[in-house]
Amino acid sequence: MKVGLLGCVNNITQHIDKIKVWSKSFGEVCGGSINLVVVNPQPHEIGLLGEMGINAFPYHTQGNETINNMRLQFQWQTLEELPLDYVLVTDVFDVMFQDDPFKKIWGNDIIVGTEGITHNEEPWNMSVLQQSYPHKVEELRNELIVCSGVIGGRKDKIITLLKDMDKLTMGKGGHDIRDQAALNILLYEDTSRIKVLSPKDGWVLHCAVGGPTQFYEAWGFKSKMKERFGEARNEGGVIVNGDWEIFDIVHQFNRIEEWNKELTTRYI
């Protein structure tokens, strides 16, 4: 079985240290290929990525749509070229790996990780629904948010999902970042299509709500996470869940200054 990692970046030189954390940490835990959609790159940046063992797929953009929304098309087009069986599609600037993420992906069509908070408990996600998909607000209000920053599964199934997200996202208007709302809409329209893992499964921690950010206690995330899944902790530079299981993937760690420093120093 061939596996690979896929991300999307722009401003490569500016963010090279973040790309190092993403790619080097993956290389430590998994032998799969590392692939990047690169938006509006400079020629020398493609060479720089090649020196790092990263396969670069350049795209050039026009218009006012955000790269975050446009990346969906770029990613499914790139996946169609890659000779992979399973793929993990993630954010790049705030994702790192502590163990092989494919151990929990094997045999599943698509898996995602819940943030552990419902839409009505998290203002940003609710705002996206209200601005771009108001007809879905009541349907999703009490449903747990799944994060579009980490998606894994069979390549053909991931391509179909990204195409469906692309259709829901592009040209919709309203909020300028709509891919996560699109993923949640698709999930709750057909819950058999996507397997959702929680922090208790140890696959991914989304630190924006699951780690001690400035909003963790003030917005009530801490009490909800402890009650539902147990509280994630930093144990000497290793992020574990409430059952002391090491998370395969840590997402949004850069929102917590202490965690960011401890997790990334070895890679840059």
Please, which pLDDT band fits residue 188 given cuts at 50, 70 and 90? very high
Please, which pLDDT band fits residue 146 given cuts at 50, 70 and 90? very high
Residue-level pLDDT at 159: 98
- Tens digit of pLDDT for each residue in 91-110? 999 999 999 999 999 999 99
Please, which pLDDT band fits residue 69 given cuts at 50, 70 and 90? confident
Measured CA to CA, the distance from residue 35 to residue 17 in angstroms comes to: 16
Biggest CA-to-CA distance, the chain: 50
Residue-level pLDDT at 62: 74
- Asked if pLDDT for residue 85 goes beyond 80, the answer is yes
What's the pTM value of the predicted model, to 2 decimals? 0.97
Strands 3-9 and 86-90: parallel
Q: Count the neighbouring beta carbons within 10 Å of the beta carbon of residue 258.
A: 11
Domain that includes residue 125, residue range: 3-267
- Asked if pLDDT for residue 61 goes beyond 90, the answer is no
Percent of the chain with pLDDT over 70: 100
- Asked if pLDDT for residue 63 goes beyond 80, the answer is no
Residue-level pLDDT at 127: 97
- Considering only CA atoms, which of 112, 121, 147, 128 is closest in space to residue 221? 121
Measured CA to CA, the distance from residue 142 to residue 55 in angstroms comes to: 40
φ, ψ dihedrals at 66, nearest 5° = -75, 150
Q: Find the CATH number of the domain harbouring 91.
A: 3.90.550.10
- Asked if pLDDT for residue 207 goes beyond 90, the answer is yes
Please, which pLDDT band fits residue 238 given cuts at 50, 70 and 90? very high
Residue-level pLDDT at 66: 79
Strands 249-251 and 55-59: unpaired
Q: Specify the residue for token string 């949640």.
A: 184
Please, which pLDDT band fits residue 15 given cuts at 50, 70 and 90? very high
CB of 100 within 8 A of CB of 248?
yes
Query: At CA 38, angle to CA 209 and CA 87, rounded to 5?
Result: 60
- Considering only CA atoms, which of 161, 50, 44, 24 is closest in space to residue 36? 50
The pLDDT of 8-20, averaged and rounded, is 96
Please, which pLDDT band fits residue 51 given cuts at 50, 70 and 90? very high
Measured CA to CA, the distance from residue 191 to residue 99 in angstroms comes to: 27
Domain count, the chain: 1
